[in-house]
Chain A
């Protein structure tokens, strides 16, 4: 394990920030360009994971374990979010027979 750590010291924290923001932006793009509700939720997962990785990177570079505990809580939250979200999607599908995000536009009225 030690050689991994010495290896990682070559990678500047800046590169982690850039990498995670690229993944986050890909997630945002996915939310914008897709109409399938399930794919939109997957893009949200992608964004959550980018943030998780950045938190872990900061935690390791600063030598503070709180960041990794926070990632653990975010994962618990994501699991809850996915369970409720997918249940809502199934319910919407049962009523409208479609997973199109436009079928939810009736919520406006």
Chain B
């Protein structure tokens, strides 16, 4: 139980570091650590499939993509565009207002905190696979088309225009 609070605290600290660090590369690295703490949260929830997917797809693929683009564009602390302090303070205040609104709203609703016992194994690959390929077969196939479209779009966008060069 106390592991949850420790990991949640670490996740919040690293998320704050992500948005407040000036150097973009450090920012990406802190985001990787944040995602790692979220992976620990999935493991604590016994959602093993999501933990593995989060680890491989988010930490492995997406963050490396971010890092590659940062290094490709050769960004560092000097070239980092910064907003004025006034805008920063206003942004921070707006974020805190959002948290206050959320907490106020959650005070009104009271979800019952009881866990439904008996099926603690829904997060395992076997059970998720059964659900995914029975009830959600059509969305699964459509998401593959989405990924194909995104791939073609990304290649088309990032390719240099042959007429210009």
What residues of chain A have their CB less than 8 Å away from a CB belonging to chain B?
A: 1-2, 4-5, 7-15, 17-19, 21-30, 32-36, 38-39, 41-43, 45-46, 49, 52-53, 56-57, 59-66, 68-69, 71-73, 75-84, 86-91, 93-94, 98-102
What residues of chain B have their CB less than 8 Å away from a CB belonging to chain A?
A: 1, 3-5, 8, 11-12, 15-16, 18-19, 24, 27-28, 31, 34-35, 38, 41-47, 49-50, 53-54, 57-58, 61-62, 65-66, 69-70, 72-73, 75, 80-83, 87-88, 90-92, 94-96, 98-99, 102-103, 106, 111-116, 118-120, 122-123, 127-128, 131-132, 135-136, 139, 143, 146-147, 149-151, 153-155, 157-158, 160
B135: which A residues are within 8 A, CB to CB?
66, 69
B53: which A residues are within 8 A, CB to CB?
72, 75
Contact of A63 among B34, B72, B119 (CB under 8 A): B119
Question: What are 9 A-B interface contacts by the 8 Å CB criterion?
Answer: A33-B19, A34-B19, A42-B18, A46-B15, A61-B116, A76-B146, A80-B149, A84-B150, A90-B158
- A83's closest neighbor in chain B, by CB? B154
Q: How many A-B residue pairs have CB under 8 A?
A: 244
B127: which A residues are within 8 A, CB to CB?
65
> Is chain A's interface secondary structure helix, strand, loop, or mixed overall?
helix
